[in-house]
Amino acid sequence: MLLAIALLAAPLIIVLTARRPVVGCALLAIGVPLTTALGRDTVIPVLRPNEAILVLVLAGLALHHLRVRRAFSYIGVDVAISIFAVGCALIPWLVLLLSRADMDFDTWRAVLGPLQFLAIYLCFAQLELSDRQLTWLLNLTLLVSVVVGAIAFIELQDFPPGIRDSLLTVIPPNHAPTIYDVVYRPTSTLGVYGAVGAFAALNFILALTLANRPGSRLRDAWLSGVIVVNLASVVASLTWAPAAALLLGAGVVMWYARRVPRQIWIGAGAALVALVVLWPAVSSRIADQQLSWGNIQTLDQRMTNWQIYFLPVLHEHIWFGTGTVIPGDLPAKLADFVDNEFLRIGFRAGVIGVGLLIAMLSVVGLNAWSSRDSVDPWRRVLGAVALATVVTIVLTGFTAEYLNFGGLSQYIAMIFGLLAARIRYSPQSPLPLAQVSRTEVFTYAMARP
């Protein structure tokens, strides 16, 4: 039944995307986070539902560009992300090819993973959106975050009783719980509990940034609700790195905008309420991590593992990595617990891969920062969100592999893509540039709604 519906929907998605690319991108914004936990062969053969959606949208965009035949101008962000994605797919492929390693389907999928990040980015980077369309797309993204957060909260509380098991039957986690998972942590529709916390943190940052713009009471109430739900979701995820990144990201956004929206105080109150409601689970998680002032036992253990096991093995493959394959020299029980974005990229593509990641984040961050002086208010909004996202990736990258998490990595690619699109198609200043100083441009930008 589901396969029949999917087959009927496929041509419709392609046609709608070919006519209106924003429709296909909206489908990505909705479909990817809500279907990430669904595995292969659950709806269609071979592909996951979110991968199938991406293929259909790409087909529609290809038809659109064949029909419109519009030249695509490239900017620095395009180049940096393309080099990162292609390099981090090409290097491990060559390493595995030259070492004559066996490559099954899962290995191929892991090797080509960065190309999916690039594909999502390009889908959004080519959009020429009106202000109204961009507002609609971002609010749609926030609506999805509310759904993801609400499911996470319900899973953790298991209220009404038995609903957790029902949800896990439909949207199972990517990995079965291990002996180390003493406290249950919700995976919602993303399949990984770490992704739930980071996804909520990034959407909180997006909502907070939008709250800095003047708007109606209804819009303010909507953004307040989004902030409350995503803060509760961060608490419910029982992962501390996204919580720390949320605080830093919020600081970046407020510093970027030079304004503290009142929703931040509503959010602070909501976080306290969520802590009280979820305290039994939170306290159990604190006890499980042996968390105390000045000491996090699990983090100490990770650092020990990195120094004793991972770094010595990686040192033997320092330049090009091991081709996404964790060497057998490591204890089997540690193979799935690298828990570090930079180490994981190191195993994928060596020091070169880490350099490509740092270069990509630097280019995105610099473009986001330069957007602060733009006369286009939406470019400033996306610049603030992208800069906070870069900071979040850097901070959380020392505790987990967030760019490998399905749903989350696609969200990051979307934000980067929307920033690139706005830079590419940003409305020009109506003031004569020859007569305008940097200070005057900034004053004009801040005065615009």
- Of 117-126, 246-255, 292-301, the range with the highest mean pLDDT is 117-126
**For residue 3, what pLDDT is reported?**
67
Cα-to-chain-centroid distance, residue 54: 16
pLDDT reported for residue 441 = 45
pLDDT > 70? residue 244: yes
The confidence score (pLDDT) of residue 298 equals 62
Q: What mean pLDDT, rounded, does the chain reach?
A: 83
- Residue 308 per-residue DSSP state: I
Residue 71 clears pLDDT 50, i.e. is over it: yes
Average pLDDT of the residues in 233-241 = 87
Higher pLDDT, 3 or 60: 60
Can you name the residues that pair with 296 across neighbouring β-strands? 291
Stretch 290-306: mean pLDDT: 60
**Given this model, what pLDDT does residue 81 score?**
95
What is the pLDDT averaged over residues 227-249?
88
pLDDT confidence of residue 177: 65
Over 80: is that where the pLDDT of 295 sits? Answer: no
Judge whether residue 360 has pLDDT over 70. yes
Does residue 293 register a pLDDT over 60? no
Task: Report the C-alpha gap between 211 and 334 in whole angstroms.
Answer: 43
Query: Is 41 or 349 the better-scoring residue by pLDDT?
Result: 349
Lowest mean pLDDT among 31-35, 80-84, 177-181: 177-181
- What is the mean pLDDT of the segment spanning 237-243? 85
| pLDDT beyond 60 at 447 | no
Locus of tokens 């091991």: 322
Q: Does 442 score more than 70 pLDDT? A: no
Of residues 308 and 90, the one with the higher pLDDT is 90
Q: Quick check: 410 pLDDT over 80?
A: yes
How would residue 439 be classed by pLDDT, with cut points 50, 70 and 90? very low
Is pLDDT at 165 greater than 50 in this prediction?
yes
Q: Specify which of 2-16, 19-33, 240-254 reaches the highest per-range mean pLDDT.
A: 19-33
Residues 6+ apart with CB under 8 A from 390: 361, 364, 365, 368
* pLDDT higher than threshold 90 for residue 68: no
| CB neighbour class for 73 (10 Å; exposed up to 12, middle 13-18, buried from 19) | exposed
**Contacts of 70 by beta carbon, 8 Å cutoff, 6+ apart:** none
Shortest CA distance to 387 belongs to which of 264, 283, 255, 242?
A: 255
CB-count burial class (<10 Å; 0-12, 13-18, 19+) for 112: middle
Phi, psi (rounded to 5 degrees) for 276: -65, -45
pLDDT at position 239:
84
pLDDT band at 222 (very low <50, low <70, confident <90, very high): very high
Place of tokens 């392609």: 14
Residue 143 in tokens:
């609506």
